[in-house]
Amino acid sequence: MSRRLVQCVLGALFVTAPALAEEADTPGSEAPTVHSPRLSVEAVGGALLLRGAHVPIQTVAAMGARVGWDAGPVLPAGLLHHTLLLDVRWALAGWREGTELVAGDTRVQHLTIAPAFVFLIDRAGEYGVYAQVGGGVAHVRSAVSVDGAETAVGNFVPTLQYGAGLRGVARMFGDASPRLSWRLEVARFRRGGQDDTFLGASVGAAF
């Protein structure tokens, strides 16, 4: 089920791109505007689909934050000059199972750095589709509470992150900062034998 959901989200993202790019592809249209490097800060929210080797898929709410830096314009002219985005992300998800007497509590945090390659799809350079891959660490904390007495175990696990999405950096005050920064995305986090799939969005400001 999760695989079909991910495929549907990815299909929607890349079907949207040609519609937004139609005006830019018309004869005589101008090339996308190249902007100065910008720092963006966004709040992240969505659903995290957890899947282990021998357990069913579990869906929990996830939240976090990300910082992005448009690094391409500081590089020499070339492919990366228009497309490179450096992305640092922190995300948190948790769930609790059991009864008042005996309960288990789990918290998963991801901290990753993933360069993204953005393809601009409008003349102003405000919208683009992107793909990214990177890595980091995940911290998993599991606690069992029995009649009020808690026993907890935590460990760090190397994590591979990859995904794709639709990104916008829209003007709010003409060419002045800040601008509205947002994304729709699907991302995967591979940690050991566990696959975490994030479906969600983020919104913030770009300076």
CATH of the domain at 121: 2.40.160.20
What mean pLDDT, rounded, does the chain reach?
82
Burial of 92 (0-12, 13-18, 19+ CB in 10 A): middle
Q: What is the mean pLDDT of residues 2-26?
A: 49
Residue 199 covered by a domain: yes
* pLDDT > 70? residue 178: yes
Pairing of β 39-51 and β 58-70: antiparallel
* Closest residue by Cα to residue 163 from 115, 110, 119, 91: 115
- Structural domain boundaries, residue 184: 2-28+41-206
* Closest residue by Cα to residue 136 from 68, 185, 87, 102: 87
Q: Does residue 122 or residue 184 have the better pLDDT? A: 184
- pTM summary value: 0.76
Maximum average pLDDT range among 22-31, 35-44, 144-153, 156-165: 156-165
Residue 200 covered by a domain: yes
C-alpha count within 13 angstroms, C-beta hemisphere, residue 42:
27
Residue 34 covered by a domain: no
Q: What is the mean pLDDT of residues 54-61?
A: 80
* pLDDT > 60? residue 56: yes
- C-alpha triplet 26, 30, 33: angle, nearest 5°: 130
Number of domains into which the chain is organized: 1
